[in-house]
Structure 1
Amino acid sequence: MPLKEFYDQQVNWSPPFEDGLERATVVVPRDYSDPDGPKLTIALARLKATNPAQRRGVLLAVNGGPGGDGGDGLGLIKRLGRRVRTAYDLIGFDPRGYGESTKLYSEVTIPKAPFDSRPPDSLFEQLAEDMRLRELGCQKGGGELRPHITTRNTARDMDLIRVVLGEEKISFVGYAYGTYVGAVYGTMFPENLDRTVLDSCINPQWTWREQFVTQAEAVYRNVALWAEWTAERDGHFHLGTTPEQVIAEIEAVVEKLDDGDQVQLRTLLDGAVGTRSTDRAQWDSLGYLIGDLRTTLQDANYEKARTLIVGQATWRPQDQEGDLRVGVLEAITLETYWPQDLEVYYADVRKHRAQHPYGYGVLRAQPWVGAFRTFESLEPPTKLAQPGYPKGLVVQADGDPMDRYEGGVVLAELLDHPLVVIEDSGDHEVYALAGNEVLDALVDDYLVDGVLPAQARVTVPGHVKRPDIPKD
């Protein structure tokens, strides 16, 4: 048995830390086709089932990324609810390449192109050069490890974790990229999967480039809904009586900022429009912001405009250590095809710059490291399949700005899972993380008691309500 030494290892759990988590590590082969070669360490965390008499197994959870950006890592399991804690030992793990597991490093490169939500054509060459240098940094920092940081290997690591924990099956909750990890695991090891929840889904029929590019459209859906709602309340906001007029007011503010060479402020405004439109509770504040900026910029008062816009996030954080950073995102997203022709990217930037400029989705259309890739994948991506795959649950918000709604529809159909749609919601990663009690109860019923919805598609209302402002 090639993996016997790995299967026979003992997991030595630490006493609980201050956060309540027990910690441990397991050793896995870097390359499962060469188990005698180099080895990696995978970090684990555990919350033991609070009612041993009702314990039904272990549940693994993954969110964020690829590469942990925006995710909770080992601490994700602390956010799962009381009912699930009674029934499972909750197992958190940092997938290979990041967190407390063996890290895949990349050299830090500093982009020279300014951060611009609507980059002009004059920046295109520099944007591409920044990505070329970023890919070279990944090559230099990642070395021979980089081709082995893959979704399929993460699935293999999960199954090795199952074995060393002494479990016949595992249950799984995956968010965002974690939905793809879970679907790949279920395809590769269907006999070892018990119950699974896939929340905020990667579209398995898209390449990573398609996944990136569609974020701009996903954000704009929320902007369009906000504009419709605002137009119905023109007596309150005075931004126009049609969605088109409301959008035109945003663009008038954008034009004023561009006329004053206020690229940073305009970029922050685009971010604010995208962020606040996805959060239904901020719809009124977004309307006030546009109205206040319109008044302020009549006198080109950029300092006051800056005060109004201040606080908008510009991008996600990175896991950086001095001259090195984690390079998992660049490795995983190169599992699928990226065009080498830069004109393809430039055409997409022009399209979304004109049609879907809000949020930071236009940046996803820019050249990526895949255009300059320095390594070839060791195996093709997994073709997700149903045979033997146990029925689970797919959760998707209809206004998810990161992983577009269609991804949940496609994945549910492909795996023959019921689809739970959170209606009128811009949430991303919902179960146990967003505060939607109706959804949480429905998913808990499945994970704890095995109760699945009787229909192929059921709806749950979004828990964040629109502001209570009557229509005109």
Structure 2
Amino acid sequence: MNIRRGMKCRRGVVAVAGTAVAMGLVTAPAAEASPAEASALAQYYQQQMSWAPCEPGTPPPGIPPEEWEKLWRGMECATVTVPMDYREPDNGRLSIAVSRREATDPAKRQGVLLLNPGGPGGSGMLMPNNLAENNEVADSFDLIGFDPRGVGRSTRLQCEAGQWLERQTRPTDDRFPAIAAAALDRERACQRAGGGLRPHISTANTARDMDVIRAALGEKKINYLGFSYGTYLGAVYGSLFPGGLNRSVLDSSMHPDWLYYEQSKQQAVAARENFDAWAAWVGERNDTYHLGDSAQQVRANLETLRERLAAEPVPWPEQPDYVQIDGTLFDMMLGYETPYRAGWALFAELVIKIKNAVGGELPADAGKALATFADYAIPETHSGVFPTVTCEADWSADLNTYFDQMRVFRERYPYGPGASAAEPTECTFRSFTPPEPITDLKRDGYPVGVVVQAEFDPSTQYDGGPAMASRLENNLISVADEGAHGLYGRNDCATRKIDDYLINGVLPGSHIVCAGTSPPDVPVDGSATRSAPRPTSSLEERAADLIETSKLDRTF
């Protein structure tokens, strides 16, 4: 759901071709069903998976074939068949692609760990290899990835291309009707292409597919690790199939009561929170950056700079296909580049470069550094899954509700997505009726799990973590003063606690706090400017190093 207007973004990886499914293994559903339902679903629960080395297929644009092939090395792939409609199991079938990396130490094997990267619409096929690198859980669990229904190499839900407008962080009222008309056009386009499948692409049905995967793997229970939207998916699975879930980790959780409009708006709230934290840090170091001596003054000065950029945008050097740095793009940068504390100093330097370039030219090195950040944005999803799953919840059909919120957000929360986080979407004009209500989340019959949340999470705002932990009566790990989205494998303290829980069953405690990543050690008195040697690395190299060390290029 991260938006990068007009800037090249590296796309999320797609799935791999699977292999055929054989029938034969008898494993029962993990939740009780009526005799008729159990009989109708037996053919799906009795599948055996036929594994074969994964075929990488054609690499996405920009990824060399040898690098793409390496990403799949060591994994096996298969498919399972699931009913399109679980209420009428004989009325159509879908194919679900599954990947596996077997436990590296068979003596320590404790079962399977099913993975989901979020989205909705994210591919999980590469997650076993991504997670296995330098990770102790790879010794103890078969790591299982999959493409949810509608995604990647599973039966796909594709939408026709509808109308997309350039996103604006502070649109004027006269633009509101065009924004609504574009959302209506996209909804009609999606319905034309995938209308027969869309009612069956839902979180609950994906959870049911997960239980079929569990049975086809020959497992009585799964362990689960989900990120972002994958936290909600895991909570739904546990609510529907408590007998099938053992240990569960929900990393960077959605709020159980924010489906889905409020969840979208809260991204702009989080962007403002991150900007304010960065502005306060910069203000304390005014002798170094000269952007203002307080958070309020930094914001005032950057608002003035934003007005100048709106009137006189700065072009990207050597990047003619990039949009110019105008007021809207500057708003996005201020929200999207401030969550990661380790990059605060570098971003402050880049803001100064932009400020000095108004009326002139941005230095090539600064342009390359900004482009490097843009290319490693959180991957967007472009199938029909996102504007279908998010429509499983009811959205207001009153356009004035959205327009009123957009007015509020363009004033109070203009950074990152800004007012676009509050605009009407395809779901405002939903063309189908969901066949069932949203799942009532509860933990009744499966063990206590763990929720982990960063204080300044830019995509799933912090309040979602405590709310989900409370709803499920799970343990909560909060990571203080941290702006990362997806903490497992990024924050050492949280990772150790999660590993101890997944591998040894040791819960961290009802609520513990881990320290987040510290900002750069830039003295407040300006001595860094006076005495520090000039950096030997270019801005572009420093941006690339930050991405690598902070694992910002990870696709979950």
1:95, CA displacement in angstroms?
Answer: 0.7
SS of aligned partner of 2:51:
coil
Q: 1:304 aligns with which of 352, 359, 362?
A: 362
Contact 2:49 2:79 in 1 (8 A): yes
Contact 1:26 1:41 in 2 (8 A): yes
1:370, CA displacement in angstroms?
Answer: 1.2
Q: What is the RMSD of the two structures over their aligned residues, measured on CA atoms?
A: 1.9
Mapping 1:117-156, distance limit 5 Å: 117-156=169-208
Q: 2:94 aligns with which of 25, 40, 49?
A: 40
* Separation in 1, partners of 2:325, 2:433: 37
Mapping 1:79-118, distance limit 5 Å: 79-81=130-132, 82-111=135-164, 113-118=165-170
TM-superposition CA deviations, 1:283-314 (whole Å, max 9, x none): 112222333333333xx33x438985652639
Count of aligned pairs: 456
Is 2:123 the partner of 1:60? no
Tell me the amino acid that sits aligned with residue 492 of structure 2: E
* Separation in 2, partners of 1:218, 1:437: 23
Contact 1:139 1:374 in 2 (8 A): yes
1:261, CA displacement in angstroms?
Answer: 6.6
Cross-structure match for 2:328: 267
* Separation in 1, partners of 2:365, 2:492: 36
1:230, CA displacement in angstroms?
Answer: 1.0
* Separation in 2, partners of 1:80, 1:307: 33
Contact 1:389 1:415 in 2 (8 A): no
Is 2:124 the partner of 1:73? yes
Q: 2:355 aligns with which of 291, 294, 298?
A: 294
Contact 1:249 1:290 in 2 (8 A): no
Deviates more, 1:174-183 or 1:265-274: 265-274
* Separation in 2, partners of 1:179, 1:337: 20
Contact 2:313 2:327 in 1 (8 A): no
Tell me the amino acid that sits aligned with residue 141 of structure 2: Y
* Separation in 1, partners of 2:113, 2:406: 41
Contact 1:386 1:415 in 2 (8 A): yes
* Separation in 1, partners of 2:400, 2:54: 54
1:219, CA displacement in angstroms?
Answer: 1.2
Is 2:242 the partner of 1:187? no
Contact 1:392 1:417 in 2 (8 A): yes
* Separation in 1, partners of 2:163, 2:366: 29
TM-superposition CA deviations, 1:61-93 (whole Å, max 9, x none): 00131011xxx5211121224321111111111
* Separation in 1, partners of 2:204, 2:188: 24
Cross-structure match for 2:18: none
SS of aligned partner of 2:98:
strand
Cross-structure match for 2:469: 412
1:171–1:292 Cα change, 3 Å: same
Cross-structure match for 1:375: 432
Is 2:291 the partner of 1:236? no
Cross-structure match for 2:9: none
TM-superposition CA deviations, 1:135-166 (whole Å, max 9, x none): 00110111211000000001111111111111
* Separation in 2, partners of 1:276, 1:156: 37
TM-superposition CA deviations, 1:235-274 (whole Å, max 9, x none): 1111222110000111010111123377852222122211
Is 2:339 the partner of 1:278? yes
TM-superposition CA deviations, 1:410-435 (whole Å, max 9, x none): 01111111101111111001112x3x
Cross-structure match for 2:45: 7
Mapping 1:303-452, distance limit 5 Å: 303-304=361-362, 308=366, 310-311=370-371, 313=374, 326-432=383-489, 434=490, 436-452=491-507
TM-superposition CA deviations, 1:165-219 (whole Å, max 9, x none): 1111100000000000000011111111100000000100112000001110011
* Separation in 2, partners of 1:45, 1:413: 32
Contact 2:79 2:97 in 1 (8 A): yes
TM-superposition CA deviations, 1:420-471 (whole Å, max 9, x none): 1111111001112x3x222212111110110111x31111112x32011112
Cross-structure match for 2:27: none
1:43, CA displacement in angstroms?
Answer: 0.3
Contact 2:157 2:383 in 1 (8 A): yes
* Separation in 2, partners of 1:261, 1:221: 26
Tell me the amino acid that sits aligned with residue 172 of structure 2: P
Structure 2: 5+ residue runs without aligned partners?
1-38, 56-71, 315-323, 526-556
* Separation in 2, partners of 1:313, 1:160: 38
Mapping 1:160-171, distance limit 5 Å: 160-171=212-223
Cross-structure match for 1:322: none
Is 2:511 the partner of 1:457? yes
Once superposed, which parts of structure 1, at least 4 consecutive aligned residues long, lie more than 4 Å away? 261-264, 305-310, 314-319
Contact 2:163 2:183 in 1 (8 A): no
Tell me the amino acid that sits aligned with residue 115 of structure 2: A
* Separation in 1, partners of 2:365, 2:144: 44
SS of aligned partner of 1:374:
coil
Q: 1:471 aligns with which of 518, 524, 527?
A: 524
* Separation in 2, partners of 1:213, 1:306: 35
TM-superposition CA deviations, 1:99-126 (whole Å, max 9, x none): 1100111101242x33322222222111
* Separation in 1, partners of 2:378, 2:464: 22
Cross-structure match for 2:81: 27
Contact 1:173 1:196 in 2 (8 A): yes
Tell me the amino acid that sits aligned with residue 161 of structure 2: V
* Separation in 2, partners of 1:184, 1:95: 14
* Separation in 2, partners of 1:22, 1:431: 24
1:163–1:469 Cα change, 3 Å: same
* Separation in 1, partners of 2:170, 2:364: 18
TM score, norm. by length of structure 1: 0.92
